[in-house]
């Protein structure tokens, strides 16, 4: 399959009619620009017709100016609105590489969390626990900041754990309830990172 054939296949639903272009222009430009365009074009056409048929004489500068405004200026305005919309989509498309880079970094954060989880299963005392919890908190903060760069809503999802009942790995030695809760939260956030990855990679698949 050639690139041209693939493009035709993916864009079969695109309406290529002139009427659709006029409708989109009206939606983007707004009723005032469309009204100005129609009135200008009609005024130029009517004044030209009246002059040619000798019903009423108008200075050529009048109907020529009106026709130029209707036939030249409005297409320029149309292109302006089209260019703005194009640049918006181009910006979103160019942002793809940035998003992919963030997703890769989030996978690294996920790997770090897995290591923290393994370490947290075999802590020897309160001192090690305090150090481990601090590193978990640092990981939470850094990961949250990175996810926020992807989308604020995803960052909110990361901090709002909601109701969950993950099971800790067999053989986990818990020192206290704080230790247990930190491990449970870590497990949940590892799972959330996986969900974020799946959502954003599927979106661009």
Ramachandran bin of 30, using left for φ above 0, alpha for ψ from -120 to 50, beta for the remaining angles = left
Q: Is 177 exposed, middle or buried (0-12, 13-18, 19+ CB in 10 A)?
A: exposed
Residue 205's nearest CA partner among 100, 118, 102 is 100
CA end-to-end distance (rounded Å), the chain: 19
Query: What total number of domains does the chain contain?
Result: 2
Contact of 44 with 69, CB cutoff 8 Å: yes
Same domain as 71, residue 143: no
Range of the domain at 188: 93-203
Q: Is the pTM of this model over 0.85?
A: no
Query: What pLDDT is recorded for position 78?
Result: 73
Same domain as 140, residue 115: yes
Same domain as 54, residue 14: yes
The last residue of one of the domains, among 92, 116, 140, is 92
Same domain as 105, residue 74: no
Same domain as 72, residue 49: yes
Residues of the chain with pLDDT under 70: 1-16, 28-30, 63, 74, 92-94, 162-167, 170, 202-205
**Per residue in 75-123, pLDDT tens?**
777 777 778 877 877 776 667 778 888 999 999 999 999 999 999 988 8
* Residue 204, phi then psi, degrees to nearest 5: -110, 15
């Amino acid at each position: 399959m050639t690139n041209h054939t693939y493009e035709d296949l993916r864009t079969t639903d695109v309406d290529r009619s002139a009427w659709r272009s006029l409708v989109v222009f009206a939606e983007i430009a707004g009723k005032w620009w469309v009204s100005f365009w129609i009135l200008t074009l009609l005024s130029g056409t009517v004044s030209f017709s009246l002059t040619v048929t000798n019903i009423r004489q108008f200075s050529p500068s009048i109907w020529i100016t009106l026709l130029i405004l209707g036939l030249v200026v409005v297409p320029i305005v149309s292109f302006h609105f089209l260019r703005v919309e194009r640049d918006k989509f181009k910006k979103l498309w160019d942002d793809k590489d940035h998003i992919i880079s963030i997703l890769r970094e989030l996978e690294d954060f996920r790997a770090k969390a897995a290591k923290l989880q393994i370490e947290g299963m075999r802590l020897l005392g309160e001192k090690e626990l305090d150090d481990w919890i601090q590193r978990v908190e640092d990981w939470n903060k850094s990961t949250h900041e990175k996810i926020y760069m992807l989308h604020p809503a995803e960052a909110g999802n990361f901090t709002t754990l909601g109701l969950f009942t993950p099971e800790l790995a067999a053989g986990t030695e818990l020192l206290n309830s704080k230790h247990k809760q930190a491990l449970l939260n870590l497990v949940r956030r590892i799972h959330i990172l996986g969900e974020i990855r799946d959502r954003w990679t599927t979106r661009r698949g």
